[in-house]
Amino acid sequence: MKILLGSSVKELENVALNYGQAAFRGRQIHNWIYNYKNKKKNIDQIEALPFDFRKKLKDDGFKVSELSFQEKNLASDGTLKLLLSTGDNESIECVGIPTEKRLTACLSSQVGCPMDCKFCATGKEGLKRSLKANEILDQILFIENEMNRKVTNIVFMGMGEPLLNIDDLLLSIRSINEDFQISQRKITVSTVAVPKMINKLSTKSFQILGKCQFTLAISLHASNQKIREMIIPSARNYHIKNIIEDCRQFVRHTGRRVSFEYLMLSGVNDKLEHANELSNLLRGFQCHVNLIKYNQIDEVDFKQASQKNLQLFQSRLFNNGIAVSFRKSRGLDKNAACGQLRQNVRNK
């Protein structure tokens, strides 16, 4: 099977030339694939191409993409979660988060996840495999087609650990830049953090993309090593102080500030002493903290921190000189927690 999605203009021109067609036929394929108004992504629908050319492509095993629709949930705030099937009958999730001026696509990078974060539904079934670049990109097409809008922003914050799939992650970012015409500055790569991989991410970004301008977001969720190991068991392999040092190196290497995601869990990490500890940990380099309200799931005992504690925590960080904001949760009424829709469908 030969997947066209993710191919560059030049690569598609070469496909056309190899079939005795003019190079502009490859550009026609490219323009058709990345136009969100084209709802059915199969070669038969590319009517600009000669019928014989389309037939030859199909007969030789070419396809635009390989994911298929399985289920969707639309929340009252407009957030759309999609469950998609892969060619080998696995399931992945992606989410479209709309505002008046932007449409953010939250993408998965793996089927399942090996990190086993205790607050996350995805890790309950472990890792199946990593996604190929075209499978990552196909999620954008499904979101655009379902919501009839062009995606403007990307967050790799769905199922999986992006730093365990760096090559396909960066290939997908290349296509997001060049084919979907979305700037790196509108892309966020969120990671629990894996030893030696933060430096590898920036180094390979310069090698593959020529630059590294996306935002690195670390799912920190704790102010010290003990708490972090309790909620993220894989953290025992990567001390929190080493993570921060690698993030400092990332800033020096790329000139881009690092974001730290901090899920507010009642009685676990939401006290003022934790805010002070976090401030001491992060003080002195270009970074930002996103406080996040926890999406409750049935499988675990964590509870949302109170609004009062959240506000006090935010104020303490601000007063300590740490850039901080509160990220409002979206889609709370429709299985918003990562991995929840996939799990619910499997349990039916």
Q: Annotated active-site positions, please?
A: 93, 338
Sign of the dihedral defined by the CA atoms of residues 207, 218, 91, 34, in that order: negative
Sign of the dihedral defined by the CA atoms of residues 106, 108, 109, 112, in that order: positive
Sign of the dihedral defined by the CA atoms of residues 239, 241, 247, 248, in that order: negative
DSSP strands (E only) in the chain: 2-3, 62-63, 68-74, 80-85, 91-98, 103-106, 110-112, 127-130, 153-156, 187-191, 215-219, 258-264, 287-293, 324-327
What span, in angstroms and rounded, lies between the C-alpha atoms of 233 and 339? 18
C-beta of residue 304 within 8 angstroms of C-beta of residue 268: no
Half-sphere exposure of 124 toward its Cβ, with a 13 Å CA cutoff? 17
DSSP 265: B
Structure tokens at 265: 């869990």
Half-sphere exposure of 235 toward its Cβ, with a 13 Å CA cutoff? 25
H or E element, residue 134: helix 133-147
Radius of gyration of the chain (CA): 21
